[in-house]
Amino acid sequence: MTRTKLFRRLLSVASAGVLAVGLAACSGGGDDAGGDDGVTTIGFVAVGPEGAWRQANEANMQETFTKEAGFELKYAPATNLDQKSQIDAFTSFVDEGVDVILLSATEGSGWEDSLKRAQEAEIPVILIDRGIEPDATDLYATRIAPDNLKVSSSVASWAVETFPQGANYFVLEGPAGVSVVNERNRGWNDTIGAKPEFKKLGAQTANWSTEEAKSVFETVLKSNNNKVQLVFAQNDEMGLGAVLAAEEAGLVPGKDVKIATIDGTRNALQALADGKLSFVAEYNPLFGETALDVVNKVLKGEKVESYIVVPSLTFNSPEAATKVLPERKF
């Protein structure tokens, strides 16, 4: 533990009215993984309840960074997805002098000051899933996530193969300002945008929600006389909402309209097995072991890649989904 961090930790302990121990302990200098008790304290600035993907990702993090593994993980979910609550939690972790901060940002922008504070306090920050915008790679140790550009371009490539004559399509987006939404739009547009036979009817956020996506797509179908052949839903919950809207409009999802989604959660794979979804690109949430390995490397001062890509699969048929469902972990 560095002198700065121990001083901050003692200050926060002292401010709690507990007798502070002498600073002599820090005279040894040099970094070591974790505190004096050998426990590495992790401040996890998390998103909190948002859907099946988030639940799987955050549970996996908490199941990985256990006391038995030598960690104390302090979980700080956002209040109603509010960035200010995340910035407040981030600041508290810096003041407390945790060893590492994991950040899953509810908003892509607005993190520069917080990241600089952590840097001054010599606390490494690891981005989990979500990136920051603008991407200041000097302000964080690394980002661990599947590659959103590759994941969304795999959906676009499937669409091009499935609709050789092109299609009228609609995009159900995640919330504005979230980094992965911008990346998924870019990955999709880089492939589909070059295909004039694909006509974009529009795009609208449904905030990762099944209910909101159902409502949005009901309106889209009405205003296009049901003539929508393809939906790119940027997560599973929204794709399942589009399925409900299509069925209520008297359409057969998978036949009259093909709906493709991102995440690969169990409900989406079941819908793919049932023929209601047509393509599911996994965005693998289970990377806790990778994160633990990276935390240990970073604390030892080892160099890590600025973006550590989590491998993810694609599922393009009912048979492919049926095959993996029995063992599906999320």
| 3-state helix vs strand vs coil in the chain, percent to 5 | 45, 20, 40
Give whichever of 46 and 321 is closer to ligand AHR, judged by the CB atom: 46
Shortest spacing between CB 73 and ligand AHR, in angstroms: 20
Q: Is 144 helix (H, G, I), strand (E, B) or coil?
A: strand
Q: Which of residues 129-148 bind ligand AHR (CB under 6 A)?
A: 129-130
Shortest spacing between CB 323 and ligand AHR, in angstroms: 22
Give whichever of 1 and 132 is closer to ligand AHR, judged by the CB atom: 132
Residue 232 interacting with ligand AHR (CB under 6 A): no
Interaction pattern, residues 257-276, with ligand AHR; x per rule: CB under 6 A: -----xx-------------
Number of residues that bind ligand AHR (CB under 6 A): 12
Give whichever of 145 and 299 is closer to ligand AHR, judged by the CB atom: 145
Cβ atoms of 299 and 72 within 8 Å: the answer is no
Q: Which two tokens stand for residue 70?
A: 């030598």
Shortest spacing between CB 181 and ligand AHR, in angstroms: 8
Q: Which two tokens stand for residue 253?
A: 């999802």
Q: Determine how many CB atoms are found less than 10 A away from the CB of residue 27.
A: 8
- Per CB under 6 A, the segment of 31-39, 48-56, 116-124, 213-221 that binds ligand AHR is 48-56
Angle of CA points 80, 84, 89, to nearest 5°: 95
Cβ atoms of 308 and 290 within 8 Å: the answer is yes
Distance CA 170, CA 205 (A): 11
Label the pairing between strands 307-309 and 142-145.
Answer: parallel
Give whichever of 180 and 273 is closer to ligand AHR, judged by the CB atom: 180
Residue 283 interacting with ligand AHR (CB under 6 A): yes
Cβ atoms of 242 and 201 within 8 Å: the answer is no
Query: Residue 41's Cα: distance from chain center in Å?
Result: 22
Residue 180 interacting with ligand AHR (CB under 6 A): yes
Shortest spacing between CB 104 and ligand AHR, in angstroms: 7
Interface contacts to ligand AHR, rule CB under 6 A: 50-51, 53-54, 129-130, 180, 208, 235, 262-263, 283
